[in-house]
Amino acid sequence: MPVSAIILALTYAPFLMAVPFVPLVMACMYAGLRFTRLSRIHQILSLFIFFTTAIQGVSLWLWLEVKNNMPLSHLNTAVGILLLAWFYQEVFRGFIDKWIFGWTGGLLFVFALINAIFLQGLYSFNSYALMVQCIMVIILSLTMYAMLLNDTVKEQKRDQLKSLNWINAGLFIYFASSILLFYFGKVIIDTFSQEISLYSWIMHSFFATIMYICFLIGLWTHPRN
């Protein structure tokens, strides 16, 4: 590896790992403090935040110990699919049959496990599963935007509308911006220079930070009982 690549790795790697972790931990702490007062929708999102915080924390520790943390990415993706499908199931309750989310989340969860064991391997970048997760969330977030244009839905979810818009925006921005990176991730790592790879993941870190900030704002604007 050239000297410039080593310098970049040492400079940006802590940034890539730590910066998104700050708003994530803040959202985790706030969700933990107010968990019992949150609506069911926000409690499910909080479970996603709790799980993601734990995974990211262990992943950061493994990185500091110079150990492969790819198995955590596989786990994070598989469980994240289930939790996000459950979140949107609750958002769409009364409008879309819940079995659709159950089957979708379950099938994609199984695919993520198959990908980890048989396709890309537990210790390699799980771009297939990440891409599938992105597609699922993009479709569900766009569906939510369309649903929230309905006057009946607006009236029913009037108190939570602002909060849900922030959360949905964060999910859409992150997964829509990341889908190409996840698709070409292995190619970028294997083909292009270390510099280009690091710059790509800086953008990923930036959009992850935006998502976690949106989560924090969404929880903060949740109606207080």
Lookup: tokens for 225: 């009982």
Question: Which tens digits make up the pLDDT trace of 76-117?
Answer: 999 999 999 999 999 998 888 989 999 999 999 999 999 999
Rounded Cα distance between 215 and 87, Å, is: 13
Spatial contact of 165 and 113, defined as CB atoms under 8 Å apart: no
Q: Which residue has the higher pLDDT, 152 or 138?
A: 138
Mean pLDDT on 201-215: 90
Q: Tell me what pLDDT residue 164 has.
A: 94
What is the full DSSP assignment across 9-58? HHHHHHHHHHTTHHHHHHHHHHHHHHGGGS-HHHHHHHHHHHHHHHHHHH
In sequence order, which ranges of the chain are alpha helices (DSSP H)?
3-18, 21-34, 40-64, 70-91, 98-114, 127-147, 151-156, 161-191, 194-220
Spatial contact of 19 and 209, defined as CB atoms under 8 Å apart: yes
**Taking the chain, what is the end-to-end CA distance rounded to the nearest angstrom?**
56
Question: Which tens digits make up the pLDDT trace of 15-43?
Answer: 556 778 899 999 999 999 999 999 999 99
Question: Which tens digits make up the pLDDT trace of 112-132?
Answer: 999 999 999 999 889 899 999
Give pairs for 12-15: CB < 8 Å, separation 24+.
12/198, 12/201, 12/202, 13/63, 13/198, 15/202, 15/205
Region of poorest pLDDT, from 40-44, 146-150, 161-165? 146-150
What is the model's pTM?
0.88
Question: Which tens digits make up the pLDDT trace of 45-68?
Answer: 999 999 999 999 998 888 777 788
Spatial contact of 62 and 30, defined as CB atoms under 8 Å apart: no
